[in-house]
Structure 1
Amino acid sequence: MLRATVTGRIWSTKRLKEVPAGSILEVVVDGSSTRLLAFDPLGCGEGESVIVATGSVAAAWFPGEAPPIDALIIGSIDEAASARTGK
């Protein structure tokens, strides 16, 4: 899993029927310059910190035959544990 920050939304007027309803967001992996396009079933917004699963783990989340998606936002980070504990 990766911690990332949402930097934008990808708009597409055409989509494969295998891709379920949801947004595709551009995220930057924290601590790097790596950018990913991630499927977002949660409704996250720009600037939000998120948890991203990649590869076969992301694809396995979808029921039936997996769509061609290899990055999935699986959580929205409200507060890092270090912020709560002061560490």
Structure 2
Amino acid sequence: MVRGTVTASVWATRRVEGIPGGAFLEVELDGGSHLIAFDVLGSGIGERVLIVQGSVAASWFPAGKSPPIDALIIGSIDDVPH
């Protein structure tokens, strides 16, 4: 699991069949790298989020219906302890 900040929406008017409702968001990970993650929570720009990747992300979707998604936003970080 990794943490990051949503920096932009990625508009995709055409999608592979089988990708459920949700949004593609660009996220800057702690450490400075970027990735595109799929969001079903309704996260917004500037929001701190938790992301899972790989088979963990794909396994969240119903069995037999795993879309080609390898980064999934699974939580919104309310506050980072100091």
TM-score scaled by structure 1?
Answer: 0.88
Larger Rg: 1
Secondary structure in structure 2 of the residue aligned to 1:79: coil
Give runs of ≥4 in structure 1 deviating > 4 Å: none
Gaps of 5+ in 2: none
Structure with more helix by fraction: 1
What is the rounded CA distance, in whole Å, between the counterparts of 2:47 and 2:13 in structure 1?
Answer: 24
TM-score scaled by structure 2?
Answer: 0.93
Say how many residue pairs are matched. Answer: 81
Identity %: 56
1:76 corresponds in structure 2 to 76
What is the rounded CA distance, in whole Å, between the counterparts of 1:28 and 1:18 in structure 2?
Answer: 27
How much is the aligned-residue C-alpha RMSD, in angstroms?
0.9
What is the rounded CA distance, in whole Å, between the counterparts of 2:36 and 2:73 in structure 1?
Answer: 10
Does residue 24 of structure 2 align to residue 24 of structure 1? yes
